[in-house]
Structure 1
Amino acid sequence: MRGRRTMNLNHRERRPQNRGGRVEAPRAPDLQARYERTLTLARGSEMIGDKVEAERFYQQADHYRRLLNNQAA
């Protein structure tokens, strides 16, 4: 079996995991900017007729809006 090599997968680094199980949301100014950007992208996609991409951006913008509302409460 000369020439046969085995693949070594141990060289990959493991990414550190969040031990608390919670993901921190970005700060409010970042969220506001992301919300506005995704809303603009959704409207732009809608204008060129890409309904699927527009819906994806609207859903993403809605997610950011909910995060903003949770931070305000």
Structure 2
Amino acid sequence: MTVNHRKLPAHNRGGRIEAPRGRSDLQARYERTLILARGSEMTGDKVEAERFCQQADHYRRLLNNQAA
């Protein structure tokens, strides 16, 4: 049995409720993902490092949109 997540409201997907993110929360998430990316690079996990870099880039774009 499969569940079509597109029909569910956002707060029911994965059991999480998406709260509006403030600038300080986004900044903290951005910095944390950069740290995780650097740590993954240091351990030699290139795939995980790239994933964290992409996630940090997403937060950076959100921060830039809020500043505009």
Match 2:61 to one of 46, 60, 66 = 66
TM-score normalised to structure 2 length: 0.72
User: Is 1:51 matched up with 2:54?
Assistant: no
Q: If you compute each CA radius of gyration, which structure gives the higher value, 1 or 2?
A: 1
RMSD (Å) for aligned C-alpha atoms = 1.8
Name structure 1 gaps, 5 residues minimum: 1-15
Alignment of 1:20-39 (within 5 A): 25-39=20-34
Identity of aligned residues (%): 76
Higher helix share: 2
Name structure 2 gaps, 5 residues minimum: 1-7, 11-17
Measure the CA separation in 1 of the matches of 2:20 and 2:37: 22
Measure the CA separation in 2 of the matches of 1:70 and 1:24: 17
**Helix, strand or coil at the partner of 1:26:** coil
Residues 66 and 24 of structure 1, relative CA distance in 2, 3 Å threshold: farther
Q: Which amino acid aligns with 1:68?
A: L
**Is residue 25–residue 67 contact of structure 1 (8 Å, CA) maintained in 2?**
no
TM-score normalised to structure 1 length: 0.68
Aligned residues: 54
